[in-house]
Amino acid sequence: MKNDSRSRNHPAYWAFLVHRLSGVALTLFLPLHFWALGNALHGEAKLESFLRWSDQPLVKWAETILVLLLAAHMAGGVRLLMLEFVSLPGNAHEVNAWQKTLLAGAAGVSVVVGLLFLLNLI
């Protein structure tokens, strides 16, 4: 099988990679999220202790990265749905331009959501 490096430089490949890696990262985060929610079931003191721990700056940065990953995964999913369900008549050049527009829009939405979350933390 021929290794074509041009396909790895295509914006759609990078969108695929970001979508896949953000999905894996969110999946790995879920057990920690459920554990944190479970603290509420063990009393107010245990939950309050966890909430105090989560006020650390490193945890706040991790939350920002998590929100950015969530926004990237959501925007990438919406992009894929639009590619699937919105038919665009025209030649291959117009379709490629449409895909790049969707890629730019998904990236822009992700960055804006991440920055808005970060600004809200400060």
Segment 73-79 mean pLDDT? 91
For residues 118 and 71, give the distance between their C-alpha atoms in angstroms, rounded to a whole number.
13
Q: Which CATH number is 92's domain given?
A: 1.20.1300.10
Query: pLDDT tens digit string along 7-61?
Result: 777 788 888 899 999 999 999 999 988 988 888 888 888 888 888 988 899 998 8
For residues 77 and 65, give the distance between their C-alpha atoms in angstroms, rounded to a whole number.
18
Structure confidence at residue 6 (pLDDT) = 66
The answer to whether the CB of 22 falls within 8 A of the CB of 69 is yes
Query: pLDDT tens digit string along 99-113?
Result: 888 888 999 999 999
Amino acid letter at 28? L
Domains of the chain: total:
1
Tokens describing residue 121: 């933390």
Tokens describing residue 33: 């999220």
Where does the pLDDT of residue 74 fall: very low under 50, low under 70, confident under 90, or very high at 90 and above?
very high
Domain that holds residue 28: 5-121
For residues 29 and 51, give the distance between their C-alpha atoms in angstroms, rounded to a whole number.
17
